[in-house]
Amino acid sequence: MDLGLFMQPLHNPERSITDMLEEDRQAAILADKLGYAEVWVGEHYSSSIEPIVNPLQFFATLIHQTEKIKFATGVLALPQHHPANIAGDAAQFDHLSKGRFIMGIGPGGLASDFELFDIMDKNRAEMLVDSIDLIHKIWSSDAPYNIKGKYWHIKIEDTVIPKLGFGPMAKPYQKPFPEVAISAMTPHSGSARQAGLHGWGFASANFIQECWVKSHWEQYVIGAEKAGRRPDRNRWRVARSVLVAESDAQAADYLAREGNSYAWYYDFVLDDMRTYNILPVLKHDPSLPDEDVTLKYCMDTMIISGSPKTVLDKLVALVDYLGGPFGTLLQTFKEWDDPAIQQNSMRLLAQEVMPKLNAYCSTKVAAE
């Protein structure tokens, strides 16, 4: 199993955007130094808490300050963009990064962005499939173009001038295309099913209970089998909030601090889910009363914390619960309110926990 870093990212809006972005950059640079395989960054146009508008632009600042880590958009909200824009931007970034690009896509998740781009009442899941299909057709064909989708029409015919080089659109560095992966959040996610159907990778969100994460694999299998594909657990990324400290006591002391970044994060998530009436994703049991879904409940059930040994034991239990090893564990970024704690957590996870977790996974697979 690989280790990755997932950053929506969420920040205290009282901070300057400049400071937020620099902290995010430093987190990605540290992840590369520690051997993380990939870093995911979100796209949000109208949020003071989630400040990254263009993940490809953000990643471009990191290409020459990192060595191996892959850059995953988490995600490109395809219904919000013309497919030609995404095709051009993604192909260019793929060349700039020499293939260190994972094309994370999704239907979008921010209501204010839906209003901004006038897609609030559109079938965004359908638009997503239409868009990626058009993008792949652009990349697999040559000018002149006349590619019709349900929502967009890609056309360059009358202005193609071969001797001047006018008309052709760039193809990506990776052949035939960069890996496509989709985000999955809701119980029994239709996005996970689409991933299986189309042969995409997928990433399960961190702010949902493990039972719903497990349901994502089940839906992925349904989609893959419907398409005659073999389900591949290596295509599955699982995001979790993981805090590794020198001891159980140090982890507990940090999480007990008033306003610590994990508490701030889950307080925001809880408010967000209540506002949009999607609280069930936070429940381990659908019958749990809404009033029992408290900040303490969320932190107790969705944060994997403790010493390296304790975290290892909890991750082993997660692997077993999910039916075996999966492709990538995505540690979710939380603000560096205590940089020493946060950075050491990344180091301990990469250097002390993951090697032992992978040894366990290898033994488990060999025994099957």
User: Would you give the DSSP letter of residue 228?
Assistant: T
What is the arithmetic mean of pLDDT over 88-104? 99
| Digit-coded pLDDT (tens) for 262-305 | 999 999 999 999 999 999 999 999 999 999 999 999 999 999 99
The vertex-129 CA angle with 181 and 184, nearest 5°, equals 40
User: Could you tell me if 245 and 348 are in contact, meaning their C-beta atoms sit under 8 angstroms apart?
Assistant: yes
pTM score, two decimals? 0.97
Beta bridge partners of 242: 304
The C-alpha atoms of residue 330 and residue 362 are separated, in whole angstroms, by: 19
The count of other CB atoms within 10 Å of the CB of residue 211 is 13
The C-alpha atoms of residue 225 and residue 116 are separated, in whole angstroms, by: 37
Q: 339-348 and 17-33 are packed helices; what angle lies between their axes, rounded to 10 degrees? A: 30
pLDDT above 90 for 367: no
Q: How many residues does the chain have?
A: 368
Please give the structure tokens belonging to residue 208. Answer: 């949902």
According to CATH, the topology of domain 2-74+178-245+306-367 is: TIM Barrel (3.20.20)
Residue 368 confidence (pLDDT)? 80
Beta bridge partners of 71: 39, 101
The vertex-268 CA angle with 265 and 272, nearest 5°, equals 140
User: Could you tell me if 338 and 254 are in contact, meaning their C-beta atoms sit under 8 angstroms apart?
Assistant: yes
Residue 332 confidence (pLDDT)? 98
User: Could you tell me if 169 and 87 are in contact, meaning their C-beta atoms sit under 8 angstroms apart?
Assistant: yes
Please give the structure tokens belonging to residue 287. Answer: 């019958």
Query: Largest alpha-carbon pair distance within the chain?
Result: 70
The C-alpha atoms of residue 123 and residue 116 are separated, in whole angstroms, by: 16
**Helix, strand, coil shares, percent, the chain, to 5:** 50, 15, 35
Is the Cα torsion angle 60, 34, 327, 44 positive or negative in sign?
A: negative
| Digit-coded pLDDT (tens) for 155-198 | 999 999 999 999 999 999 999 999 999 999 999 999 999 999 99
User: Could you tell me if 37 and 63 are in contact, meaning their C-beta atoms sit under 8 angstroms apart?
Assistant: no
| Digit-coded pLDDT (tens) for 38-66 | 999 999 999 999 999 999 999 999 999 99
